[in-house]
Amino acid sequence: MTQLDRPAAGEASAADGRAASIARGRRTPDEEALEQRVVQGIWGRAWKKLRKDRLSMMAATGLAIVVFITVLGPIFADLVLHTSPESIQRMPDGRVAVLQPPSSRFLLGTDDLGRDVLTRLLYAGRVSLSIGFLVAGISVAVGTAAGLAAAYYGGWVDDIVNACIQFIFNIPGLFLLIILSVIFQPDVVMLSLIFAFFFWPGTARQVRGVAQSVRTREYVVAAQSLGGSDLRLMSRHILPNISNVILVGAGFDVQAAILGESALSYLGFGVRVPLSSWGNMLTGSTDMFEKAPWLVYPPGAMIFITVLCVVLLADGLRDALDPGV
């Protein structure tokens, strides 16, 4: 079968099988195949476009490397470096290796307690990345659901969602986060939940705006008049057409969560010691910088690389998924 006559064949058999499908109350295999091809159409096309975009592919590779080394890093530290994040390192002569500059023995040096910076950096990456992606996941799920419902139903649903968005936007977030952190001393999951609480309105507002315009498009109205249920209309007809907005929102959430977590942890109100994150590795170390400048660069550089890759990738995905182009 050639590429050209595929749609015709699909349509024909879909029409033939309609009576049967109505009788059986479910879709025919042909319809399913057609549908699958349509779904593949969006993602397949996006992937094709994305592969040609050199910057996005570089960002994707960079992100993959960061994830890879933070996931496998602890194993590497255990087997190759024979270190753990809390263990105190010693020099060959038995002294505790305090503030050793980078060398072949300690690739990124050691900190003021004699711990290996590289090992801590790898372990910290797990915490920072988990928070980044967890926050984005929760925020996108809640924000998309809320924004979609607000745009689809309108009326009082819209009013309530809007009121929540307005309310959370006007809260001085960092300051409330600090109070919450002082009182609850949150762990990683709790911290992510608190961050997500402040982040979902951003996604919801974006989704609501785009979904409102998609909601009134002809194909949505057509699907509705054919008797499509609310859930089906939202998930099958509106959602795929706003996927680029959602993905950009997710990218933005990861960026803001990683940066926000690092700032909060740096101040001493985020991830708590003994757990290390890219932010809290530098807490209270300002006084050591003249003696040990090598401590300053690695955590920030890791955050910078990670966030940059996420931002560029999200940007590339938006262009690739833009149905208009």
Query: Which one of 40, 166, 213, 235 is in contact with other proteins (CB under 8 A)?
Result: 166
Question: 92 to each of 67, 72, 192, 201, how far by Cα in Å?
Answer: 33, 28, 42, 55
- Taking CB under 8 A as the rule, does residue 67 contact other proteins? no
- Taking CB under 8 A as the rule, does residue 70 contact other proteins? no
- Taking CB under 8 A as the rule, does residue 98 contact other proteins? no
Part of the chain binding other proteins (CB under 8 A), chosen from 213-221, 227-235, 238-246, 295-303: 295-303
- Taking CB under 8 A as the rule, does residue 213 contact other proteins? no
- Taking CB under 8 A as the rule, does residue 209 contact other proteins? no
- For residue 144 the two structure tokens come to 């998309």
Residues 241-270 that bind other proteins (CB under 8 A): 255, 259, 262-263, 266-269
- Taking CB under 8 A as the rule, does residue 273 contact other proteins? no
321 neighbors 46 (Cβ within 8 angstroms) = yes
Q: How far is the CB of 87 from other proteins (least distance, A)?
A: 26
- Taking CB under 8 A as the rule, does residue 282 contact other proteins? yes
Q: Which is nearer to other proteins, 161 or 303 (CB)?
A: 303
Part of the chain binding other proteins (CB under 8 A), chosen from 60-68, 69-77, 148-156, 287-295: 287-295
Other Cβ atoms closer than 10 A to 304: 13
- Taking CB under 8 A as the rule, does residue 144 contact other proteins? no
Q: How far is the CB of 269 from other proteins (least distance, A)?
A: 7
- Taking CB under 8 A as the rule, does residue 187 contact other proteins? no
Q: How far is the CB of 307 from other proteins (least distance, A)?
A: 4
Q: How far apart are the first and last CA of the chain?
A: 29
CB within 8 Å of 259: residues ≥ 6 apart: 303, 307
- Taking CB under 8 A as the rule, does residue 180 contact other proteins? yes
Q: Which is nearer to other proteins, 34 or 270 (CB)?
A: 270
Helices (H) and strands (E) in the chain, counts: 12, 0
Amino acid sitting at position 257: A
Q: Any idea what the Cα angle at residue 203 is, between residues 201 and 205, rounded to 5°?
A: 65
Q: Which is nearer to other proteins, 74 or 268 (CB)?
A: 268
Distance CA 169, CA 19 (A): 52
| Buried-exposed string 118-146: b where 16+ CB fall within 10 A, e elsewhere | bbbbbbbbbbbbbbbbbbbebbbebbbbb
Please state the φ and ψ torsions of residue 102, each to the nearest 5 degrees. Answer: -55, 140
* Coil vs helix vs strand at 200: helix
Q: How far is the CB of 288 from other proteins (least distance, A)?
A: 10
Other Cβ atoms closer than 10 A to 294: 17
The torsion of the CA quartet 313, 315, 318, 321, rounded to 10 degrees, works out to: -40
Q: Which is nearer to other proteins, 68 or 184 (CB)?
A: 184
Contact residues for other proteins, defined by CB under 8 A = 166-167, 170-176, 178-185, 255, 259, 262-263, 266-269, 279, 282, 286, 289-290, 293, 296-297, 299-300, 303-304, 307-308, 311-312
